[in-house]
Each structure stands twice: as structure tokens, then as C-alpha cells.
Amino acid sequence: MSRKNIVAVVGRPNVGKSTLFNALAGSRIAIVQDTPGVTRDRIYQDVEWLNHNFTLIDTGGIEPDSKDVILSQMREQAQIAIDTADVIIFMVDVKQGLTDSDSKVADMLRKSGKPIVLCVNKVDNFNRDSLDVYEFYNLGIGEPFPISAINKQGIGDLLEEVVSHFVKDSVNDTEDDTTKIAIIGKPNVGKSSIINKLIGENRLIVSDIAGTTRDAIDTEVKYNGKKYTFIDTAGLRRKNKIKDELEHYMIVRTVGAVERADIAILVINAEEGVTEQDAKIAGIAHESGKAVIIAVNKWDLIEKDNHSVKEFTKDIRNTLAFMNYAEIIFISAETGQRLVKLYDMIDMVSENHALRVSTGVLNEIMTQAVVMQQPPSDKGKILKLYYITQASVKPPTFVIFVNDKKLMHFSYTRYIENQIREAFGFKGTPLRFIIRERK
């Protein structure tokens, strides 16, 4: 399974990070429906450039309110980038020139050994400003790439340099026989406790597997003759942090962990119920296309009656309506309740995530679906569905050929999806649909 590389942008406030984000936003592939109910902040974004897909992360949290904190904030940003990214874009501003904080952060980035690409922004006039760009060689992190984010100039060369550093994991793919599971969720829901209990005596290695970040610890486990790698996002807790900053950090780390995984287990605290913050984290897993299990933890603390499971499930389905495919399990890391069952569930959703359905059977289902419910029409023109085929797995992605894309409403796609799910289950995995026109 190939994973997306992660590119983090580090830079002082106002150097133009958001502007670069916006410049690259246009290339976002639109096969994923926007996740309803989840506010989309600009912290991370998928970028498609030439044949490369990657996730861009803005590590710049909130605006510092005084000059004194800029450096400490930048160090923090740089550390997040070092922890999570495959490649770091260090952005500076040609108009402001080289600053002391730039030099200090450059030192820190250089020592990390991560690939760093130096991006000099606001070079709006390449002839006039090019001499000023040379100054940035002094940072000691190599060749500066001049861009004008606002005019979208120089971005091609910058990205070419960025992608040249990408980790190519195609070789490892075939040898990789371990299922990778990211344990995600708010602080204190019990992520670490679950992992500790799951690994119990089965722990193989706790180590710095290549690509392991300092925060996200990978633990490889053998259970029933199969290998599992748990990616923990709990890690260190930072004291005295403002809420927004903590949340930003949590999101960045979740994106990083989910990207490396096949399956995300979203842990929810049974005592609190499902919250807005849970929804935000769920949105990350949803958009990544990974298989999802929702684990309601601390179930031992709940006064239960016959309706508890049903009511809890209803709550989750309402709040996280965009991921109705997710499996739900009620567990306790404290007592160990249903943790063994969690392994079975991981196997099941992992198989579904990689499931392939033959074109013949798919077309039978679609033909029948069309007979049962007439496709939508507009101004006398009726939607025709010609052909369906499965293009890829992880997640299962289907291409439907139709006469007119505009007629294919989301609700009808959802209907087809439901018919496919009825036939094959696909429990725990999202399905994606690409609608193509064939004249």
C-alpha cells in the first residue's frame, strides 16, 4: 500500500504560507465529497501535482501576539514538521530579508537530517529581486528556490525539488506483510492504554522503524500468526499550551499517523459521548480513505441497561453521519473487555478495504438497481448508467460511466453505493465513486 508523502511548511508569520496553500488548493482532486458537519480548516490539504499526490501541512499555528514569542513558536513549528513530515519547505520572505529567527530555525532544521527545501517568497520580479535571493545561501540549507506565491511563479521548480525527496516505498510494499493501524482520538480517551493492553505479551519490537516520528511510536505485534503495527499518536503532552495550539498540533499529528496506516481506530470516551472534536478527528480519517473502526472506550464506567449500546450507536451515527460505514465496538482498556474481538474486527475491515469485485457482478447489481429506482432526470433528459467497474482498492474505488455527469446526483450515487454494500458488505471501509461521461 503506497502512502502519501507529507510536506510541511514552516515559516515566520506573513511570509506567505497561506498564499502558497491557496495557490496549490486548485489542484485538489474532488472525488471526495466534502465532509459535512466538519469545519474545514486550512491546516492540511491534499495536493496533486503532475503524477504526485501528497499532503501539505501548515505547521504555523495561531498568530503570536508579540515579537518575543515568534522564535519559540517557530521552533515549535519546526519540531512538528520534523516529527511528521517527509519533506519540509522552509519559507522566507525576500522583502524582509534574512532574519535572526530564520537562521536559528534553519540550524534546527538542518540538524534534523530531514530533507529541507528553502523557498524564498515574494520574488515578484525575478530580474529585480534575484540578487536579494542569494543572501539566503547563508542559512546553510542549500539552494534557495525563489517564488512568488501571489503570482504563482516558481512553484513548479519548487515542487519538482520537493517531490525529488519523496520516500519511494514501492519496494517495501510487496514485502510489507503487516497491517498498519493508527490509534487516533482526543487526549485522555485511552489510546495508549488500548495499545498497551492490545500488545500485552505479543510485543515484537518497540522501535524507531524507519519513518517513525518521535511522537508517534510504532509498535509491531504478532497475534494469531499475523503481524500488526500500531501507530500511537498519544505521545508527549505539552503543558501550558493554549487550546487552539494544542488542537492544531493534534490535527497535524493525526494526519501524519493516518496517512501511514491502513486502518484508523477512532477512540471515543464513553463517559463524554461523541463530541465536535471527535468529529474533526473522524473527518481526517474519512478524507484519507482509510478503513475505520470507532472504539467506544471506558465502557466499564457506564451504567448500562438494555438500551445503552443502541443509544450510543445512534448518537455516533448522527454526529458522524458522513462515516456510516465505520464499524463500532464498545471496549474497555481497563478490564480488557472485547479487546480480542478488536483484532477480528481489524482483520475484517482490512479485508474489506482491499476487496475487489468483478466487473460482471457489479454491472448486474447496477442494472438491477436502475430497474428498482428510476434514475433522475432534468428537463426531459434522463440519466443513463452505462457501465461500472472497480478501478482500485484501499479504498475500493468504482468508476461509473454515464451519459451526463450533471444528472448524476449525489443521492443517486449514494443509492448505488447502498446497493453495492447490500451485496458485499464492505463493512468498515469507505467507497469512492468516480463519475465519467461517455457520449
Q: Which residues bind ligand GDP (CB under 6 A)?
A: 11, 13-19, 121-122, 124, 148-150, 185, 187-193, 234, 297-298, 300-301, 332-334
Q: In angstroms, rounded to a whole number, what is the distance separating the alpha carbons of residues 3 and 54?
A: 9
Residue with smaller CB distance to ligand GDP, 93 or 417: 93
Least distance in angstroms from the C-beta of 81 to ligand GDP: 14
Residue with smaller CB distance to ligand GDP, 168 or 243: 243
Residue with smaller CB distance to ligand GDP, 149 or 383: 149
Which has the closest alpha carbon to 92: 149, 49, 131?
A: 149
Residue with smaller CB distance to ligand GDP, 7 or 362: 7
Least distance in angstroms from the C-beta of 189 to ligand GDP: 4
Least distance in angstroms from the C-beta of 396 to ligand GDP: 30
H/E stretch holding 435: strand 432-437
Least distance in angstroms from the C-beta of 234 to ligand GDP: 3
Q: In angstroms, rounded to a whole number, what is the distance separating the alpha carbons of residues 173 and 175?
A: 6
Least distance in angstroms from the C-beta of 18 to ligand GDP: 3
What crossing angle do the helices spanning 100-112 and 68-84 adopt, rounded to 10°?
20
Residue with smaller CB distance to ligand GDP, 215 or 220: 215
DSSP 116-146: EEEEEE----HHHHHHHHHGGGGGSS--EEE
Least distance in angstroms from the C-beta of 124 to ligand GDP: 5
Least distance in angstroms from the C-beta of 197 to ligand GDP: 8
Residue with smaller CB distance to ligand GDP, 105 or 408: 105
Is the Cβ–Cβ distance between 127 and 152 less than 8 Å?
no
Least distance in angstroms from the C-beta of 129 to ligand GDP: 10
Which has the closest alpha carbon to 353: 427, 419, 294?
A: 427
Exposure string over 163-200, b if 16+ CB within 10 A, otherwise e: beebeeeeeeeeeeebbbbbbbbbeebbbbbbbebbbe
Residue with smaller CB distance to ligand GDP, 64 or 425: 64
Cβ of 67: how many Cβ atoms within 10 Å? Answer: 8
H/E stretch holding 265: strand 263-269
Least distance in angstroms from the C-beta of 344 to ligand GDP: 19
Residue with smaller CB distance to ligand GDP, 230 or 398: 230
Residue number of the CB closest to ligand GDP reads: 190
Residue with smaller CB distance to ligand GDP, 75 or 226: 75
Residue with smaller CB distance to ligand GDP, 24 or 366: 24
Least distance in angstroms from the C-beta of 414 to ligand GDP: 33
| 187 preceded by a cis bond (ω within 30 of 0) | no
Q: In angstroms, rounded to a whole number, what is the distance separating the alpha carbons of residues 211 and 217?
A: 10
Residues in Cβ contact with 354 at an 8 Å cutoff, skipping those fewer than 6 apart: 393, 394
For residue 215, which amino acid is it?
D
Is the Cβ–Cβ distance between 93 and 14 less than 8 Å?
yes
Q: In angstroms, rounded to a whole number, what is the distance separating the alpha carbons of residues 364 and 387?
A: 10
Sign of the Cα pseudo-torsion (420, 184, 267, 287, in order): negative
